[in-house]
Each structure stands twice: as C-alpha cells, then as structure tokens.
Chain A
C-alpha cells in the first residue's frame, strides 16, 4: 500500500501557545480517492485533528481549506493530483478557531450586508411570477454559490479590509439579486455598494475566479455591477 505524507496546521487554543505544523504519514487504500477521505482516515488515527465536513460531494461548502497553497474543497480534490507533503492550512485571512476551522463571522456579515433576498413588494400574484428562460439564464453562474469562502479568503482586498470590502462571494450574491427580473431593489442595491470600499476595493486580481470550486466567476459579476454604476452615473 502506498503511503503519503502530510503537513497540517495545528492549533488548539485550549492547550497550544501558538500554532504549529504537524507531520503525518498515512497509508492510502483503494477507497481513499478524495482528500477528504484521507483526512477522515487521519482523524481515526488522531481524533484531535479538527475540521468541518458534511456532504462529501462539493455542495454544502463546509470543508474549504488551503491545500498546498490554494483554497479548495477537500471532498472534491483528488489526492492523486497533490504534491507531497500535502500541506493543509486553514483558509487564510480569517481568525482560526482550531486547526482547520476558521471563524466565518466576518464572511457571513458581508454576505448579509448585501440583503441577500429577493425584494418585491408588489402584491403577490396568485400564481408564480413569470420569468422567461432567457431572464432565468441570467442567474446561472450566480445562484449556485455554496458560501464556502474559498474566493473571499484568497482575495488580498478582503484580507486587508474584511470589515469594509464586501468580497467576491458577497458581490456575486449582490449581482445575483440585481440580475433577477423579480427583484425591484436594484437602485437601493447599487446605493448600498456606492462606497470607496464595499465594491471598489476589487482590483480584478481574479484570485477568486481561480479558486472557486463551483467554477463561478465573481470578477465578472463585479464588473457588471461596476458597469451599472457607471451607466447610472451618466
């Protein structure tokens, strides 16, 4: 059986003065295909190793982490593709609670700040509000976000100003509601982003696009919001 080497960020505030990297060696069996399979196995050897996980199929957004320097989801990362020692760290830029578990409060605060819900105060029709397939298509590439935070925690602008810059995930969501023909709050949404930081700290560095495990493109959505801002200014 093949062995693989790991180097994993460890920190338990209950006992460690400061974080350290711990080395592991683990045998890879035929069922150990994804990185999450192996981390789960590691946890059977050392139950103090702490991380989040749930769906194991790339849809819940729990197991985002920094894998060999790049943010991703452990459950859909093939171990065969990873160079050794496989280095695992918590998502950068957020406070670490323990090991690979980060405090996502700031990330969700930004998501909540863009009013992530359809606003439509006109009287509710008895049936569905109609939307053409073309209009619905505008939401593709936007609504599929799983709030994993891979993008925002790879964005330098978010690292420096997590309290002021909405970040790629939040801005993608903002555009998801702007783009929805059923939403009536576009101008309030733009007002809400009209600020030197909230939107305009994005310098199109594209790290976010590079890491998104769902293949979404926050930079493009941000560009569209910027266009709308410019257009309404003239």
Chain B
C-alpha cells in the first residue's frame, strides 16, 4: 500500500509570522504552494508576542539603521553574523512600513505616525542614550502582526493545510531536499508532499525547559526533522531567559513594561539594576538583566516566602498608561499572578524564552552546511526562516523586538530566494527516493506497536527537569557534564515511549509522542553544545569560564545528531556595505 503523494512547487512548514510572510511571496508569484501548520495559523505562537517590532523609523527621536545594527551586534555579544545583521537592520523600516500598509493596527503618535517605545538595548549613537525603536500595537504586537499576515494571505488565496504535522524531511541521494512527509491529524493519514523547494518556519522549542514562556506546540519539530535528516544545528547552547516571566506560571510580561518605565525591585525595595547597569539600568539586554536578577536571589535578596523571585513595579505609571499601553499585561497579571499591576508589583523570574540557535542559514534564507572545504554550502531545495533558523542575527543573545523583525525580513527574503530557485533552477521535480516515507512510517509503527514502554508525559517531564537544572541561567562544568549524561539517558527512554490511544482520528497522544522525538533532539544538542563551550558569551554564562574568549570561541557551533558530535564555523565579520564592528567589552 503506497503512501499518497501530492505535488507542489513549494511547501512551507509553519504558519507563524515567518511562514506567513514567506507564503505571500510564493502566492503572489503564482507558484503552487502548500502551507502546513499544526494549528490554525493565527494560533501559532507569534500571536503571543507582546512588546514590539524594531525598526529605526525615528518617529520619536532620531534613529539610524547603523545604530540598530550596532546594538544588535553588541547584544549578540559578537556572535551574530554581521552581513545578516546589516541586511535585517537596513530592511527593518521598509518591512514595518509594509506591515502598516497591510493593515496592521499599530498604535499611533499624535502626528499619526507609528508609535515607538523604548526597549532593552536599543540606543542612539552606538550605546549612548536609549532610543524609542520598538513599533508597537499596545502590548499585543504579535497578535496584531500575525492576524494581519494571515488576513493578507486570505487575500492572496494562499492554500493552507491546517492541522497537518510535518514528520520528516525527504532528501534524495544527492542530499537535495525534495519534500516532506506529513500527518493529516483529522484522519491520521500520512502523505508525501513532493516539492521543488521546502521552507521550514516551525518556530521555537522552549518546551525543552520545565518553565518557559513558550506554547505547548513549540516543540522544535523543524530541528528534529533536520537532525534525523543529517542536517546540523547551529549555536544550540544559546537560549534566552526572559527576565520577566510570571513566577510560577511562566507566562511572559513584556520588556515593554520596563520600556514604559516599569522597574525591578529586590526584597529591600532597591532598584538593583542601577548597580549592575548604571547607564541602561532596567533596560539593559536580557541576558544581563536575567543574570542580575539571579544574582540578587542567590545573595538572599529575593522576595516572597521562599525568597525566589523579584518584583516588577509599574503602578507609578498610573492607570491611564497601563490601560492604554499595557492592557494585555494587566490582564495577564490579574489572571496568572493574582495581582492588579495598577496597585501592586508583579512577582517575576527569568524564564526560558527564545532559541538563538537553529537551522543554519544565510541571509537569503538558504540552508547552508559544511561540505568539502566550504563551511556554508547550500542544501539544494531547502530554506528556513524565523525562530527555527539561525541566520545568525541574534548570536549569543537576542535583542527584544528583533525576532518579529527577523520573521518578516527573513520570511520575505527566504520566499524570494525560493521563487528564484524554483523559476531559475528547477524546471521540474527531482524524483522522490524509493524510501521517501519509510522513516516516518517506521516511527509511527514503532509507536503503535510499543509494549512495556514508557509514558510520554513521564519522559517529557524527565527531559524538562534535566534541561532546567543543567542548562540554566548560570552554568558550570560539573552541572553541564552531568547534564550531557542524563539527557542521553532520557533520549534512550524516548525510543520506548508508548501510547494507549490507537485511534486514527485526531490522535493528540500520537502527536505529543512524535513531538517529544523532536524535543529530545533539541535538548541533547543544547547540552552537548553548552558543555563544549568553555567561555561565557551572551546567554551562555559559564561559572568556570567567566570571560568571553574571542581568540578561541568567536565561532558558531554545529551539532550533528547522528554521532552527537560538534564542529565549528567562523562568524561572518564582513558586513555587506559598512565597516566591521570589532568586539568590545560589553557594559551597559
């Protein structure tokens, strides 16, 4: 019995911001395109983004893309690729204006222009004074952006495959990508989607941690599929902890709260960020603020009965600003922290938020891997964009609001690259290999036939606890090496997961088991890459190697799943048109 095959010029896996922006390029070019998503597109996690999208529009104060570039390079702790960073920051104003023209409901200034707010690490004049660069729709910027992009796709007649889960990447004997296998969740049927080009825009994988701001569906499927298909993952040791997750609940409180004037307090009522970052204070970049908070807690100045969180105070902004600019935050604080921020501060802790690493790409959205002596040779037919990709613009630490920007800039650029590739290089489809669906069918058969296995939820919890304990804000050699051993033990258990639900119809137990097979690849990559990096850079804070070591470690890691080994490749130090920004000490 053969697996049914459907043919498209292009397949996009992911209906979040990156996937939807890319889809517009393809739909408008007239190519036959399928957009797959595990959930209805507006339910993708881009919808949860709050604070804003960065662009040097200069609507409030003077701003320049070169300053945005400087901040991004510095924020990345010099691990970002400067060509990709220049590309993104230069394109930012036009990308945001385009969203406005698509109908995105940005807040407005008195003169009718887009409202911009201050955000962590955004400065004028290469680090001198804070600047208002984050373009915002209240504190629902991601919702406004995702719905607008979806709406634009309705207009462009994009063909969606909703609640279809991609299972595996199909590569032929040349290593080229020729499609994906996918599960139609409603019927339980597996299909081969045969394509000239495939884009992964599958989002993040924050669910490898026990406490995360990420949605249940952020399970790193694109990364898992890559690992199984022999494609390496870049910079997986770098995970951003957002300073202000609601203590206990994990739900995010945007940095925009501090942008609007909110401050962090310890148990003495002290605004401690003044001590750590005299210049930017509460608006220093996230890695920096998160570490400062942990330090306060470690030194006994945490709040609450267990002294394990700090407070985010914003009542001094007054009810009007809070209701107008931060209505969603107020709603979240009331529902998830049980406090009304108009009156009381919100208990917050650093919480896993964003994956800086991912599928290695260049700024054109092409997936590039080492082949022969070329560290970045193209994988024909394969593209990636958004949080699952590593361009790398965020390096070792992402600046707030640079992800939404990344989605639209690189979503579009990847879409353009795909159109060009299909039109110029791919007059017809390459043949599918005979075993195109075998891996996916074997995974499902294994799961259905498993006896005496392990519960998915138990194994997932074990994974999350391990990653949370071993790859946290502060890391050390002992912890990391234990983590490497433990996570590989968990990986063995993942091979034996068992589900009771054998129904074909909308089998969410099966989906969760398949997702866990992706999560574990990400978790193993994270610990192995983190254990190997003997320095501190950006979000990777290593107690035994507290300094950045540019001599040895200014390089990207590449993790290969088949042998669980690492290799490295150089950071791009040549911007497209401006001068290289050389490394400096990072103070704020």
* Chain A residues within 8 Å of B, Cβ to Cβ: 12-15, 31, 33, 43-44, 46-48, 50-62, 76, 97-98, 101, 104, 108, 112, 115-118, 120, 124, 126-133, 135-136, 139, 143-144, 146-147, 177, 180, 182-183
Contacts and interface: CB of A to CB of B under 8 A. Distances in A.
Contacts of A144: 140, 143
B580 interface: no
A206 to B, nearest CB: 22
Contact of B505 (A12, A51, A55, A116): A12
Contact of A118 (B102, B113, B143, B251): B102
A128 B143 contact: no
Nearest to A148: B43
B453 to A, nearest CB: 12
A59 B501 contact: no
Contacts of A52: 39
A180 B103 contact: yes
Interface in B319-335: 328, 331-332, 335
Nearest to A176: B105
Contacts of A76: 335
Nearest to B338: A33
Given A14-B504, A54-B216, A180-B103, A44 B140 contact: no
Nearest to B43: A60
A13 B112 contact: no
A51 B508 contact: yes
Given A55-B215, A133-B110, 19 more contacts: A31-B248, A53-B216, A54-B215, A55-B43, A56-B215, A58-B331, A59-B328, A60-B44, A60-B45, A61-B40, A112-B154, A124-B101, A127-B113, A128-B106, A131-B112, A132-B112, A133-B109, A143-B137, A182-B103
Most buried by B among A52, A54, A98: A54
Interface string B502-515: 01111111001000
B154 A48 contact: no
B560 interface: no
A56 B505 CA distance: 24
Contact of B114 (A50, A57, A108, A128): A128
A48 B42 CA distance: 26
10 contacts: A14-B504, A47-B501, A54-B45, A54-B215, A54-B216, A58-B335, A61-B40, A132-B112, A144-B143, A147-B42
Contacts of A59: 47-48, 140, 143, 328
A60 B39 contact: yes
Nearest to A75: B335
Contacts of B39: 52, 54, 60, 62
A65 to B, nearest CB: 14
Contact of A117 (B48, B140, B155, B215): B155
B470 interface: no
B270 to A, nearest CB: 30
Nearest to B458: A44
A203 to B, nearest CB: 28
B500 interface: yes
Nearest to B332: A57
A47 to B, nearest CB: 4
Contacts of B111: 130
A136 B108 contact: yes
Contact of B503 (A48, A180, A182): A48
Contacts of A120: 101, 103
Q: What is the predominant secondary structure among interface residues of chain A facing chain B?
A: loop
Contacts of A104: 40
B147 interface: yes
A54 B217 contact: yes
B43 A54 contact: yes
The 10 residue pairs across chains A and B that have the minimum distance between CB atoms:
A118-B103, A130-B112, A47-B509, A117-B151, A44-B457, A60-B43, A48-B501, A14-B503, A128-B100, A54-B215
A97 B101 CA distance: 38
- Name the residue in B216, B455, B456, B457 with the highest tally of chain A Cβ atoms < 10 Å from its Cβ: B216
Nearest to B109: A133
B503 A15 contact: yes
A117 B505 contact: no
Contacts of B217: 54
Contacts of B105: 136, 139, 143, 180
B113 A128 contact: yes
Nearest to B217: A54
A116 B48 contact: no
Nearest to A46: B500
B499 A143 contact: no
A183 to B, nearest CB: 8
B435 to A, nearest CB: 29
Nearest to A41: B457
B588 interface: no
A105 B173 CA distance: 40
B215 to A, nearest CB: 4
Contacts of A130: 108, 111-113
B336 interface: yes
A117 B152 contact: yes
Contacts of B137: 143
Most buried by A among B154, B215, B331, B508: B508
Which of B103, B143, B152 has the most chain A CB atoms inside 10 A of its CB? Answer: B103
Contacts of B101: 120, 124, 128-129
B107 interface: yes
B554 interface: no
B527 interface: no
B144 interface: yes
Interface in B137-156: 137, 140, 143-144, 147, 151-152, 154-155
A40 to B, nearest CB: 8
A5 B154 CA distance: 43
Nearest to B42: A147
B206 to A, nearest CB: 12
B459 to A, nearest CB: 11
A116 to B, nearest CB: 5
A46 B457 CA distance: 11
Given A57-B251, A139-B105, A101 B42 contact: no
A117 B43 contact: no
B509 A146 contact: no
Nearest to B455: A44
Contacts of A101: 506
B505 A97 contact: yes
A44 to B, nearest CB: 4
A129 to B, nearest CB: 7
Nearest to A57: B251
B336 A62 contact: no
Contact of A143 (B43, B100, B144): B144
Contacts of B500: 46-48
Contact of A55 (B48, B331, B504): B48
B186 interface: yes
A62 B109 CA distance: 33
Interface string B88-121: 0000000001001111011111111110000000
A135 B112 CA distance: 9
Contacts of A126: 97
B48 A47 contact: no
A56 B251 CA distance: 8
A46 B503 CA distance: 13
A53 B501 CA distance: 18
A217 to B, nearest CB: 15
B113 A50 contact: no
Given A117-B151, A133-B108, A98 B215 contact: no
